[in-house]
A and B are shown apart, each in its own frame.
Chain A
């Protein structure tokens, strides 16, 4: 209404001053022109802009299905993929845009970060969509709690990665005569056998997050569920400095001697390729490693084995990807945003996305026969772990602590593993003091 009134007013002006000079006329034209796109937007279906870093082959394909679904529902998808730095580049873009008051509709944010963004008051509550689609019934409670800020859904989960996996090339094991390990002792026995037969026991890339993934698995194996939770979720001083933690570091140092000494800076997928090609026997990595095996045309259960990291059977360290939804002003854009939230949890997207990512669908009512042996096993283990306290957030994948604390742990762990002369007892002291100063 107000806009119309403004137009009329201008019109009146024109009548009153017939000898209007060129500049005023120009200004009038510009102001009319600038009104036009506004009305064009009003007729437009809503747009949903998604900021993400799902840019690798399989991931891009998975995002494409989400895009198609949203388009089919009559909305416009604005893709904003920012590759690089494991999401660090995308986060920088997101922060800049959030500060300038122009956030995208949805962004790939996960774990405790959702709470931080929620506390800034930037996230929108998805009450209508979540109630209409019965999210509370569909999602496991622990997953739902991560997606909620102040009791309301502010993000939609898309998958559940399991981190505590050990990937095995059975041909290599057969050649060397090694046995599939179920305890840490058996793990080192298998590593010795592989090493004696001339294979690299563990394929590994020397990057902080990969070092910390191994560290976290060892901690879960040695400290148990309760100890792990106390150390990395509650950051309990006693759990962090106890005898058992010294043992974790000792074991990590021992494990490091079975890795390729030239591993510094190697990417995880290059390490995975070493296991696939039969140069190495095992890799300690989350279930995204499966996408490399799938891409190489290998079949789960036959060409490669996935077992829970020795000593962590019955536990499940999770890494959940999710899309957090930002507050928007435009009515139609909000509709598009709600549609995205709905579609992301629908079985069709959940199936394609998780088949490509190697992860577990978040919906608990999915037909698991569509997935391979590893994901099926993951699904069974998830349900088992959920009953007790086996379901634990992954520290190395930013599900357990703030980024600052995670970074402090990374620094200590990666420095320890890369220094052959490092002392486990000193490392434990460094760990607790680094965490204290980062808190």
Chain B
């Protein structure tokens, strides 16, 4: 009855206007709360239990974390993520910026070339991984091609070499992502006021130093967006590894995400899998929180 009373006071439309945004947002809010934060909390709980192939709630304290840190495969996976993430992000940025600067020179057929470089981003990592698996396979890919062409001594067997396989992942991932970084920077470059460049030219600055000292520093926000997106791709690149090496040879190209999946879902060690997921979350937060903090603080100063 109380709702009827409320309707009588204000016009129904006003009430609707007041409630509509909340109503529309409620489902997505609920999904985020339950599906995201709820399950983070659940995973956090499970990482302190002895959950095997089904969740259980027998408390074992930090035992799962201790086991995880003793596990050689986990360390291989973490080290791989550092190497892969570091190389992938830096090479993609360098290649992307270089392509963007070159494309920015008002060349002919720019649209066509831009599309070519951007196209790999339209593929899923599964396709990229499978294609590069064939290209880099010593028995049937580039290696065989070059030897069939007469370069007998050529050897590119990184994909089957446990020490170098992680670089193969970097090659494939850079191929896919650098076009996207190029597009981001190209958009940024187009936003730079041409009169600044002309002024620098009048002052006698060379083109490289104009780009290095004036244009690129002014693209700091673009740089940070690109970094965030690439870091994101690096940490979640489960599909690339799954398609390209499946973690092999041995487990030499394992990444934490693969590790987490294997232990939680196929090996029935849900407690340990949850512990690894929480450590991954911790690693991401330790990068993200200082960044967000510095970004938000800068805003306040503006």
Which positions in A face B, CB cutoff 8 Å? Answer: 85, 88, 91-92, 95, 98-99, 113, 116, 120, 206-208, 260-265, 402-404, 406-407, 411, 414-419, 430, 434, 437-438
Within 8 A of A (CB), among B251-276: 251-252, 262-263, 265-269
- Smallest distance from the beta carbon of B134 to chain A beta carbons, Å? 11
Partner of A88, one of B139, B165, B266: B266
| Per-position binary interface string of chain B over residues 108-142, scored 1 when its CB falls under 8 Å from any chain A CB and 0 otherwise | 00000000000000000000000001000111000
Residue B282 lies at the interface, judged by CB distance under 8 Å to chain A: no
**Can you name 20 extra interface pairs (CB under 8 A) apart from A262-B160, A430-B72, A437-B71?**
A91-B265, A92-B265, A95-B265, A99-B54, A207-B246, A208-B248, A208-B251, A261-B157, A264-B165, A264-B245, A265-B246, A402-B268, A403-B266, A411-B251, A414-B248, A414-B250, A414-B251, A415-B252, A419-B162, A438-B269
A208 to B252: give the CA distance in the assembly, Å.
12
Partner of B251, one of A113, A263, A415: A415
Partner of B67, one of A95, A120, A260, A437: A437
Residue B52 lies at the interface, judged by CB distance under 8 Å to chain A: yes
Question: In the complex, what residues of A have CB within 8 A of residue B263's CB?
Answer: 407
A437 to B263: give the CA distance in the assembly, Å.
13
Partner of B250, one of A85, A92, A404, A419: A419
Partner of A262, one of B70, B137, B251: B137
A418 to B245: give the CA distance in the assembly, Å.
13
- A-B pairs with beta carbons under 8 Å apart, 14 shown: A91-B265, A92-B265, A116-B268, A207-B246, A207-B248, A261-B160, A262-B138, A265-B248, A414-B251, A415-B252, A416-B250, A418-B249, A437-B67, A437-B70
Which positions in B face A, CB cutoff 8 Å? Answer: 52-55, 67, 70-73, 133, 137-139, 157, 159-160, 162, 165, 245-246, 248-252, 262-263, 265-269
- Smallest distance from the beta carbon of A426 to chain B beta carbons, Å? 11
- Smallest distance from the beta carbon of B225 to chain A beta carbons, Å? 35
A418 to B165: give the CA distance in the assembly, Å.
12
Do residues B248 and A95 form an inter-chain contact, with CB atoms below 8 A? no
With known contacts A98-B54, A262-B137, A419-B162, A206–B268 Cβ distance under 8 A: no
- Smallest distance from the beta carbon of A417 to chain B beta carbons, Å? 7
A419 to B163: give the CA distance in the assembly, Å.
9
Question: In the complex, what residues of A have CB within 8 A of residue B54's CB?
Answer: 95, 98-99, 120
- Smallest distance from the beta carbon of B133 to chain A beta carbons, Å? 7
A434 to B252: give the CA distance in the assembly, Å.
17
Partner of B245, one of A120, A265, A415, A438: A265
Partner of A403, one of B71, B138, B165, B268: B268
- Smallest distance from the beta carbon of A29 to chain B beta carbons, Å? 25
- Smallest distance from the beta carbon of B53 to chain A beta carbons, Å? 6
Do residues A417 and B250 form an inter-chain contact, with CB atoms below 8 A? yes
Question: In the complex, what residues of A have CB within 8 A of residue B246's CB?
Answer: 207, 265
Do residues A403 and B267 form an inter-chain contact, with CB atoms below 8 A? yes
Question: In the complex, what residues of B have CB within 8 A of residue A120's CB?
Answer: 54
Question: In the complex, what residues of B have CB within 8 A of residue A407's CB?
Answer: 262-263, 266-267, 269
Question: In the complex, what residues of B have CB within 8 A of residue A98's CB?
Answer: 54
Do residues A404 and B52 form an inter-chain contact, with CB atoms below 8 A? yes
- Smallest distance from the beta carbon of A114 to chain B beta carbons, Å? 12
For residue B269, which residue of chain A has the nearest CB?
Answer: A404
Do residues A264 and B265 form an inter-chain contact, with CB atoms below 8 A? no
Question: In the complex, what residues of A have CB within 8 A of residue B266's CB?
Answer: 85, 88, 91, 403, 407
Do residues A264 and B268 form an inter-chain contact, with CB atoms below 8 A? no
A-B pairs with lowest CB-CB distance, top 7: A418-B250, A418-B249, A415-B250, A407-B267, A264-B249, A262-B139, A88-B266
For residue A85, which residue of chain B has the nearest CB?
Answer: B266
For residue B73, which residue of chain A has the nearest CB?
Answer: A411
Do residues B265 and A116 form an inter-chain contact, with CB atoms below 8 A? no
For residue B56, which residue of chain A has the nearest CB?
Answer: A120
Question: In the complex, what residues of B have CB within 8 A of residue A402's CB?
Answer: 52, 268
Question: In the complex, what residues of B have CB within 8 A of residue A91's CB?
Answer: 265-266
Do residues B72 and A88 form an inter-chain contact, with CB atoms below 8 A? no
A39 to B185: give the CA distance in the assembly, Å.
64
Do residues B73 and A418 form an inter-chain contact, with CB atoms below 8 A? no
Question: In the complex, what residues of A have CB within 8 A of residue B251's CB?
Answer: 208, 411, 414-415
A406 to B263: give the CA distance in the assembly, Å.
12
A265 to B266: give the CA distance in the assembly, Å.
18
For residue A403, which residue of chain B has the nearest CB?
Answer: B268
With known contacts A411-B73, A418-B162, A88–B265 Cβ distance under 8 A: yes
A265 to B130: give the CA distance in the assembly, Å.
12
Do residues A264 and B269 form an inter-chain contact, with CB atoms below 8 A? no
A430 to B70: give the CA distance in the assembly, Å.
11
- Smallest distance from the beta carbon of A428 to chain B beta carbons, Å? 15
Question: In the complex, what residues of A have CB within 8 A of residue B71's CB?
Answer: 437
With known contacts A99-B55, A265-B133, A206–B249 Cβ distance under 8 A: yes
Question: In the complex, what residues of A have CB within 8 A of residue B133's CB?
Answer: 265
- Smallest distance from the beta carbon of B145 to chain A beta carbons, Å? 14
Question: In the complex, what residues of B have CB within 8 A of residue A263's CB?
Answer: 160
Partner of B248, one of A99, A206, A403: A206
Question: In the complex, what residues of B have CB within 8 A of residue A406's CB?
Answer: 267
Do residues B159 and A264 form an inter-chain contact, with CB atoms below 8 A? yes
Partner of A418, one of B55, B248, B269: B248
Do residues A264 and B70 form an inter-chain contact, with CB atoms below 8 A? no
Question: In the complex, what residues of B have CB within 8 A of residue A261's CB?
Answer: 138, 157, 160
A411 to B267: give the CA distance in the assembly, Å.
12
For residue A406, which residue of chain B has the nearest CB?
Answer: B267
- Smallest distance from the beta carbon of A262 to chain B beta carbons, Å? 4
Partner of A404, one of B72, B162, B165, B267: B267
Question: In the complex, what residues of A have CB within 8 A of residue B55's CB?
Answer: 99
Chain A CB within 10 Å — which of B71, B133, B268 has the most? B268
A415 to B251: give the CA distance in the assembly, Å.
6
Chain B CB within 10 Å — which of A91, A95, A260, A265 has the most? A265
Do residues A262 and B157 form an inter-chain contact, with CB atoms below 8 A? yes
- Smallest distance from the beta carbon of A420 to chain B beta carbons, Å? 9
A207 to B262: give the CA distance in the assembly, Å.
14
For residue B144, which residue of chain A has the nearest CB?
Answer: A262
A262 to B139: give the CA distance in the assembly, Å.
6
For residue A419, which residue of chain B has the nearest CB?
Answer: B162
Question: In the complex, what residues of A have CB within 8 A of residue B159's CB?
Answer: 264
A208 to B265: give the CA distance in the assembly, Å.
17
- Smallest distance from the beta carbon of B261 to chain A beta carbons, Å? 9
- Smallest distance from the beta carbon of B242 to chain A beta carbons, Å? 10
- Smallest distance from the beta carbon of B106 to chain A beta carbons, Å? 46
For residue B263, which residue of chain A has the nearest CB?
Answer: A407
